[in-house]
Amino acid sequence: MSSNDLSSPVQYIKGVGPRRARLLDRLGIKTVRDALFYLPYRYEDRSSIKKIAHLRPEEINTVTGKILKADVIIPNPRRPKLKIFELAVSDGSGLLRAKWFNQTYLKKIFKPGQEVVLYGTVKYNYWGTGFEIINPEYEILDDTDDESNPSAFSLQPSASCIHTGRIVPIYRSTEGLSQKQLRNIMYSVLNSSVSAISDPMPSEIIKEYNLPDLQESISNVHFPSPTSSPTFSITDLNRGTSPYHQRLSFDELFTLQLGLAAIKKGEVLEKGIVFSPDGRLINGLLNKLPFKLTYAQERVFKDILKDMQSSAPMNRLLQGDVGSGKTIVALMSMLAAVECGYQSALMAPTEILAEQHYINIHRLVEDLGLNTHLLTGSKKDKEVDVIASGDADIVIGTHALIQEGVSFKKLGLIVIDEQHRFGVMQRAILRKKGINPDTLIMTATPIPRTLALTLYGDLDYSIIDELPPNRSPIITKLFFEKNKNRIYSLIEEETKKGRQAYVVYPVIEESEKTDLKSAITGAEGLQKIFPHLKVNLIHGRMKPVEREEVMREFKNGNVHILVSTTVIEVGVDVPNATLMVIIHAERFGLAQLHQLRGRVGRGSNQSYCILLSYGGSEDARKRLDVMVKTTDGFRIAEEDLNIRGPGEFFGTRQSGMPDLKVANLLRDAKILEMARKEAFSLIERDSALAGYPQLRKSIEDFWGKRLELFKTA
Ligand code: ADP
Ligand code: MG
C-alpha cells in the first residue's frame, strides 16, 4: 500500500489506525509529511553482532541466535506473582538467557526454533555461571506475517531488521506508544510514502552544493543504511551532521530564508516616504544634551537617516545592549520625521516604560516647540483628537496606540521599543496607521548573528556596540544563603553614600506550593532591618497608576530600597541606583538576569549586582557563572543559546516565525549562511518564484498564513 498524497492523514498508513493516530497527534504528527519529517533525536548502533562466547558483562550488545527454550518461570514459590519470561538462545558459540519480568504475554510471541536478534546490556547471572540480558529489545527474524514487522522497503535492500542488527533510530515518543511501535510506524510510513516526495530545490543549487538526493536523505535520517553514499558515522548521525541531515537542514533554512527574502522584497517594492530633514530640531536636541554621542550612536543614526531619505520604507532593527543609549537615537530619528511635517510614534511594552520615555522625551523637546503626548490604558477622547488632528508631533504609548479608533493625521515614523515583547502582528497594525511609515525596531536583547538572520532576516540591522564613556563595569557576585548578611551591609554602605538599591524577588507572595522567598515578605523584612530607610514595594498585581507612583518616588530619590518582582526588568532608568540584589537568582533566565542587572550601572558610580542563589539545577548554576564572568550582552546571549537551545531561546512562536524541525541554528550556522545567500539571490532573480511553482508551494506550506505575499504576486 502506498500513499502519494503527503498531506493525507497518517492514520491510513499500514499499522497506524485511529488509536495510534491520536497518539501521533500528540507528537505533532498529523499527516504523512509530518511523519516523514519527524526525525529521530538520537541513534543506537546495534549493527555489529557479537558472538555469545565473546560477550563481556556490562557491555551493550546485539546478539543473534536460535531460541532453544521459551518458558514462564516463577523463581520464588513464595512469591507466585513474580513471573519471569525466559528465553534460552544459542548462536553455536554459547548460550544466552534473556529475561523479561512480568511480561508473560511474550509467550505468545516467541517460539523455540525462531531466529531472534536481541539488544541490551549483558550481565552475569545471579550465580555468575553464565550471561543474561534483562528486558532486551528484540526482533524475530523469520516472523514475516507479524503485522508490526513490515518487510524491508526498497531503498534498504540489506536491512531486514528494524529494531536490531542495524543503526537504530530513537524517537521522542509519548505515553502509550512504545519506541518499538513508533519505529515500526516510521518504517511503514517511509516504505509507503518516501517515493511520493518530489524535490522542489532548483537543480542549479543541488549541483552547486552537491546535495544528496532528497528521498534518500529522508530514508537515511530515519533508517541509516551502511551502503549509502555519501557515507557517515554514527557520531555524525547523533550530532545531526550527516550529509543527509545537512541536506534536510539546508532545505528547511532555504525555505525559511526564501520567505524572509520575499517579505523584504515586497516591502522594498512598496513606496515609502522620502524624508529630507533639515537638521533644525536634531541640532537643537544635540545642543541640549549634557553628553556627546558615542561613535556607535552616530554611525547607527547615519544608517537610519539614509533609510529615511530613500523611497523604500525603512525596516531597521536597532540592537544595543541595556544602557547603550538607544533612546536618544530613536528620538533623533523621530525629530527627523517631525522636521518634515510628519508625526512620530513610539510604542513601548509597559506603562512604566512608556511613561519614562514620555518624561524624558517631553523634557528634551519641550522648548523646541514640539507637542509630545502619552497614550496608555484605554483611550481618552482628548488625546485621540490631538493625535488625529496632527497637533501631536510625537506620540508615546503602550499597546493603547494600536487600538481601534486611534488614528494619526500623518504618521511618518514608528519606533518600537523592546521589540521582543510585541508580535509581528502588532508591528503591522501600527504600521497600518500610517501610509508605509518608516519603522525602527529596538531591542536590548542581544541576539547572536545566526539567530538574528532568522528572526529578523527581513530587516536591516544596526548595532550600538559601545557603551557611553565613564561607565565602570558592574561588579557581579554570586552569594549563597550563608552570605546573606553581606547583602545587608552592602545595602547599608550604598544607601549611606546616597545611592539606591533594587531587591528583586521571583514571586509576589509566599505560597504553599513552593518555598520561594517573596517580594511582600521581603519588603517587610528589609523595613525591619533598615528602620531608618524608606523601603517600597512594586509588583505586577498593583494597579498601573500605583506602580507608576512608586516608580516615580524611586526615581525622585525618595525611596532607598525598591523591592520588586520582574516588573522592573525592562528599560527603567534610574542612574542613582547602584545596587541590584536578585533573590533566588537561580530561578531566572539569563536574558532576564542580564536585563535586571542592566537597571544599575547607568550612571558614573560603581554599581554592584548580587545574585543570591538557593541552589537549583546544573543549568541554573551555569547561568549564574556566566553572569559573574561577563557583562557583555552578546556573550551572554550566546551562552544562553548554548544552554537553552535555539527553540526556547527567543520564543519563536511569539515572534511569528515558523518552527524549525530539522535545522539547529547553532549547529547549522554555516548552512544557514549558504541557504540565505541562495534564497536572497533567487528572490532577486524571480521575486514571485513564477518559474518555481513547486518551491512556491513548499514555502506556503512552511510559512502557512504568515506569508500572504505570494497570493498577490
Ligand atoms: P537603552 O539603550 O538601554 O535604552 P538609554 O537610552 O535608556 O539606554 O540610555 C541609558 C542612559 O545613558 C540614559 O541615562 C542616557 O541619557 C545615557 N546616555 C545615552 N547616550 C549617552 C552618551 N553618548 N553619553 C553619555 N550618556 C548617554
Ligand atoms: Mg531603552
Name residues whose C-beta falls within 8 Å of residue 344's C-beta, 6 or more positions apart in sequence.
333, 334, 335, 337, 338, 393, 394, 395, 411, 412, 413, 414, 415
Name the residue of 285, 293, 327 whose CB sits within 8 Å of the most ligand 1 atoms, as the mutation to test its pocket: 327
pLDDT score for 305? 97
Rounded Cα gap, residues 474 and 610, in angstroms: 10
Q: Which of 163-167, 550-554, 588-592 has the lowest mean pLDDT?
A: 163-167
List the residue whose alpha carbon is closest to atom 9 of ligand 1: 325
Name the residue of 289, 318, 328, 356 whose CB sits within 8 Å of the most ligand 1 atoms, as the mutation to test its pocket: 328
Atom of ligand 1 nearest to the CA of 320: 2
Distance in Å, CA 356 to ligand 2 centroid: 10
Interval 437-480: pLDDT, tens: 999 999 877 777 777 777 677 788 899 988 888 777 899 999 99
Name residues whose C-beta falls within 8 Å of residue 587's C-beta, 6 or more positions apart in sequence.
506, 516, 616, 620
pLDDT score for 712? 36
List the residue whose alpha carbon is closest to atom 25 of ligand 1: 468
Confidence label for 161 from pLDDT (cuts 50, 70 and 90): confident
List the residue whose alpha carbon is closest to atom 1 of ligand 1: 323
Q: With b meaning 16 or more CB within 10 Å and e meaning fewer, what string describes 315-331?
A: bbbbbbbbbbbbbbbbb
Rounded Cα gap, residues 283 and 287, in angstroms: 6
User: Mind giving me the DSSP string for 389-457?
Assistant: HT--SEEEESGGGGSTT---SSEEEEEESSGGGS-HHHHHHHHHTSSS-EEEEEE-S---HHHHHHHTT
Asked if the domains 1-46+180-197 and 280-464 are classified in one and the same CATH topology, the answer is: no
The residues with which 572 forms a beta bridge, in sequence order, are none
Confidence label for 294 from pLDDT (cuts 50, 70 and 90): very high
> Is residue 166 predicted with pLDDT exceeding 90?
no
Rounded Cα gap, residues 591 and 656, in angstroms: 20
Distance (Å) of CA 284 to CA 309, 328, 339, 364: 20, 13, 11, 10
* H/E element, 90: strand 84-90
Contact (CB, 8 A) for 468 and 320 = no
Distance in Å, CA 693 to ligand 2 centroid: 44
Interval 580-595: pLDDT, tens: 999 999 999 888 899 8
Average pLDDT of the chain to the nearest whole number: 86
Q: Which three cell numbers stand for residue 434?
A: 500610517
Name the residue of 295, 324, 363, 474 whose CB sits within 8 Å of the most ligand 1 atoms, as the mutation to test its pocket: 324
Interval 605-661: pLDDT, tens: 999 999 999 988 888 999 999 999 998 888 888 888 777 765 555 554 445 567 778
| Alpha helices (H) in 310-393, listed in sequence order | 326-339, 351-365, 381-389
Distance in Å, CA 283 to ligand 1 centroid: 18
Name the residue of 292, 297, 569, 573 whose CB sits within 8 Å of the most ligand 1 atoms, as the mutation to test its pocket: 573
Architecture of domain 48-165: Beta Barrel (2.40)
Contact (CB, 8 A) for 616 and 597 = no
Ligand 1: lining residues by beta carbon, under 6 Å = 291, 293-294, 297, 320, 322-328, 444, 468, 571, 573, 575, 602
Confidence (pTM): 0.68
Rounded Cα gap, residues 253 and 583, in angstroms: 40
Atom of ligand 1 nearest to the CA of 328: 6
Contact (CB, 8 A) for 570 and 418 = yes
List the residue whose alpha carbon is closest to atom 4 of ligand 1: 326
pLDDT score for 566? 83
List the residue whose alpha carbon is closest to atom 19 of ligand 1: 325
Contact (CB, 8 A) for 228 and 213 = no
Atom of ligand 1 nearest to the CA of 330: 6
List the residue whose alpha carbon is closest to atom 5 of ligand 1: 325
Interval 323-371: pLDDT, tens: 889 999 999 999 999 999 999 999 998 777 888 889 889 989 988 999 9
For 475-630, CATH gives: 3.40.50.300
pLDDT winner (highest mean) among 45-54, 174-183, 429-438, 488-497:
488-497
Name residues whose C-beta falls within 8 Å of residue 105's C-beta, 6 or more positions apart in sequence.
none
Confidence label for 144 from pLDDT (cuts 50, 70 and 90): very low
Name residues whose C-beta falls within 8 Å of residue 100's C-beta, 6 or more positions apart in sequence.
84, 85, 86, 106, 134, 135
For 1-46+180-197, CATH gives: 1.10.150
By DSSP bridging, strand 561-564 and strand 500-504 are parallel
pLDDT score for 547? 82
> Is residue 151 predicted with pLDDT exceeding 70?
no
Domain boundaries, the chain: 1-46+180-197, 48-165, 280-464, 475-630
Homologous superfamily (CATH) of 280-464 is P-loop containing nucleotide triphosphate hydrolases (3.40.50.300)
> Is residue 3 predicted with pLDDT exceeding 80?
no
Distance in Å, CA 396 to ligand 2 centroid: 13
Distance (Å) of CA 437 to CA 153, 252, 493: 57, 32, 50
- Upper half-sphere CA count for residue 353 (Cβ side, 13 Å): 19
Distance in Å, CA 138 to ligand 1 centroid: 65
Rounded Cα gap, residues 593 and 611, in angstroms: 9
Is the bond leading into 230 cis (omega within 30 degrees of zero)? Answer: yes
* 119 or 573, which is more confident: 119
* 310 or 658, which is more confident: 310
Arithmetic mean of pLDDT, 407-430: 79
